[in-house]
Amino acid sequence: MSLQGSLFEEPAPGNVISLKNGELAYYPHFFNKAESDTYMQTLLDTIAWKQESMRMYGKEVLFPRLMAWYGDVATSYSFSGNTFVPQPWTQALTDIRDRITPTAGTTFNSVLLNLYRDGNDSMGWHADDEPELGPQPVIASVNFGAARRFLLRYKSDHHLKHEILLEHGSLLIMKGTLQQYWEHQVPKTSRQISGRINLTFRFIHP
């Protein structure tokens, strides 16, 4: 555990964002700049990044980003026709997990990592509503690297929207009925930007 972060520094306060049938809390500077720079580099160097593919309309399509899945041995996770078997926790991942756990108010047994290499990498509209996450999952999203727009839309009325710029060192907690009523995405951008890593800590019901 990082002494600097845990003993001498309180995380910056978060902003609760109350949406219709969904709740978010955003902590823009949860990790300080130096820690965030170090985690960015450590994760780039030590995570087993892979470009996965999914079957779509009978074709094998590459995900437009790199991914990795880490967690307790008993957790495996399926989406878009893939089952991901987790790799064992690394030191950096358990450090980050232990830092965010008190703020999230719940425990996590796995983490999905996404590496957006540049503005061309993205994630399309979806909700994290897979059955193994349970009915009202708490999902903690940690961000390092280039800031990216995180868009939300109400499933049954796409005019209802919200947007958050997820910055270097930030933490976003999604909870309550958010995944049931809202979808989210990280759109492409034509801006020339560097890489970004997002980690979503989850509790998978075995």
Ligand X SMILES: O=C(O)CCC(=O)C(=O)O
Which residues make up each annotated binding site for 2-oxoglutarate?
A: 114, 116, 126, 184, 196, 200, 202
Q: Which residue's CB atom is positioned nearest to ligand X?
A: 198
Q: Which of 184, 201, 203, 204 binds ligand X (CB under 6 A)?
A: 184
For 156-201, give the DSSP string: TEEEEEEEEEE-TTEEEEEETTHHHHEEEEE----S----EEEEEE
Find tokens 């997990």 and name the residue. Answer: 97
Of the candidate residues 43, 123, 152, 178, the single one contacting ligand X (CB under 6 A):
123
CA atoms within 13 A on the CB side of 41: 5
| Residues in contact with ligand X, shown as a per-residue x/- string from 68 to 107 under the rule CB under 6 A | ----------------------------------------
168 is a contact residue toward ligand X (CB under 6 A): no
**Is 128 near ligand X (CB under 6 A)?**
yes
For the bound state, the minimum distance from the C-beta of residue 4 to ligand X, rounded and expressed in Å, comes to 25
Among the listed residues 141, 153, 127, 200, the one whose alpha carbon sits nearest the alpha carbon of residue 20: 153
Are the C-beta atoms of residues 200 and 141 closer than 8 Å to each other? yes
